[in-house]
Chain A
């Protein structure tokens, strides 16, 4: 699993990488000069205290950041070795290949569970094809057995954890290569959290996962690689350290990482 000899911009097991990426809200720089590569079919956890730019970094990866008022980006984000911020790149196409799950479950309230699951491009399908796509996605999100009898109901009748899995199904149905998750369990109870964590492990067989969490136990439990971020004096988020999760949590190479994981701040 070492880098091959091909002189690619990023090693072949890397599907997504940032290169000197900075992100701004107006004049405030929220993320500064981050270069990080995300390994294919692995779970990378972004950890760090609140406000250190984890969400912002994640949102730069599928060009959702630019929807915020006054937002801008510098540097590159390489997806399949092409810069997604290259002039002329269609952000819609990027977003279809890099899916996202949000901090709070946000199913579409006016669509049925079925239509939520196939919301990405399911409109043109007939009912049979829709059901097929939905079943596959809902099974992948470990939700099928719980909702198969109430597919035409409103998603608002589901529990928070089920809603979040529906959102995962919705993202999975688009068949992306990468799934970005922003604290997907932050609003859930411990049991629902455990279900989602288990689900993340199974999704990693198929997708490349990047998950923000500020729960270190969770990062230690589910991720293969962990990246630690910290805001500097001007509140700009910096990438401090990236390593295999086991290594980062046992032998961090930076003092600040050690302070954070031992709970001395944050």
Chain B
């Protein structure tokens, strides 16, 4: 009568499982500690600069180590503009390629092509940088730049002298570097859209193209957007290839042909020659800004991709 309705069941957990759990939790904790530790380290390192310049560091545009004047705006501007060019080009090309691979290409083309695209992601960035310096930069100076200027020279974006190295060249290189990421993830996301939906559209008499653009891409949009943001995250932090083709001048100019600087490339370029404590500290603060922005962008991207593709990114 007064038997309890439920009885607690003692759970037996084997020592091996306990040990395994400890390793797994320990491992995850380690990564969390690493990220937090890095953040603290960066804050400590940039403390002199934080104290000296305060928040105005972010919107001051003078970068003059000799006069000990440091402002991050030109690098923030360079980073944002090159990443934006990159993501604009890469998302267009990458999404088209993903649609082609997932829905149009016959298997004997799609499989090797996917493989090649993923290989492209494995090319070291310094190789992209070399190519950018010796092939793309001259091409921008002699062909791409003049053509763009001829067509769009009336906008400040494409006015002014064309050096070859500069924002546009860096943006194109970055686009090349992130296109594999955008393509591969978008393709996975598109492939995860149920076949039912495609067939529903085809059964209404739509073409494959209509099906891809009106049914499949809208259904996959969150994941594709995530793929693009992930690419953006990579573009923001990319260092060596950009350093080789951006011209390395801490200036803000409207023209995309002008040389510029990014957060990552200024750190790579100037860290070894930074002499004063505040100079080093200012560079570390640039690193701190880049770190925070990259973590946020990547977290957002992963969450968006997971939400559509299931948690295996």
Q: Could you tell me which residues of chain B, from 211 to 269, have a CB within 8 Å of some CB in chain A?
A: 215, 218-219, 221
B155 to chain A, nearest CB (A): 34
Neighbouring A residues of B215 by C-beta, 8 Å: 108, 110
Please tell me if the beta carbons of A67 and B199 are within 8 angstroms of each other in the complex.
yes
Please tell me if the beta carbons of A174 and B205 are within 8 angstroms of each other in the complex.
yes
B216 to chain A, nearest CB (A): 10
Neighbouring A residues of B143 by C-beta, 8 Å: none
* B202 adjacent to chain A (CB < 8 Å): yes
B-contact 0/1 string along A60-101, CB 8 Å cutoff = 001010010100000000000000000000001111100110
Please tell me if the beta carbons of B205 and A108 are within 8 angstroms of each other in the complex.
no
What CA separation (Å) do A170 and B203 show in the bound complex? 10
Neighbouring A residues of B194 by C-beta, 8 Å: 106
Neighbouring A residues of B3 by C-beta, 8 Å: none
Identify the closest chain A residue to B200 (Cβ). Answer: A106
What CA separation (Å) do A119 and B202 show in the bound complex? 11
Report the count of interface residues on B (CB-CB < 8 A): 18
* B107 adjacent to chain A (CB < 8 Å): yes
Report the count of interface residues on A (CB-CB < 8 A): 26
Neighbouring A residues of B206 by C-beta, 8 Å: 92
What CA separation (Å) do A161 and B201 show in the bound complex? 20
Please tell me if the beta carbons of A167 and B205 are within 8 angstroms of each other in the complex.
no
Identify the closest chain A residue to B203 (Cβ). Answer: A100
Please tell me if the beta carbons of A69 and B202 are within 8 angstroms of each other in the complex.
no
B-contact 0/1 string along A139-180, CB 8 Å cutoff = 000000000000000000000000000010011001000000
Given A69-B107, A92-B207, do A106 and B202 touch, yes or no (CB 8 Å)? no
Interface centre among A93, A94, A120 (most CB of B within 10 A): A120
Given A67-B199, A102-B196, A102-B199, do A95 and B205 touch, yes or no (CB 8 Å)? yes
Please tell me if the beta carbons of A64 and B199 are within 8 angstroms of each other in the complex.
yes
Please tell me if the beta carbons of B199 and A120 are within 8 angstroms of each other in the complex.
no
What CA separation (Å) do A92 and B206 show in the bound complex? 6
* A109 adjacent to chain B (CB < 8 Å): yes
What CA separation (Å) do A102 and B204 show in the bound complex? 12
What CA separation (Å) do A86 and B45 show in the bound complex? 75
Neighbouring A residues of B44 by C-beta, 8 Å: none
Q: Which 5 A-B pairs have the closest CB atoms?
A: A96-B205, A110-B218, A100-B203, A106-B196, A120-B204
Chain B interface (Cβ within 8 Å of chain A)? 107, 194, 196-207, 215, 218-219, 221
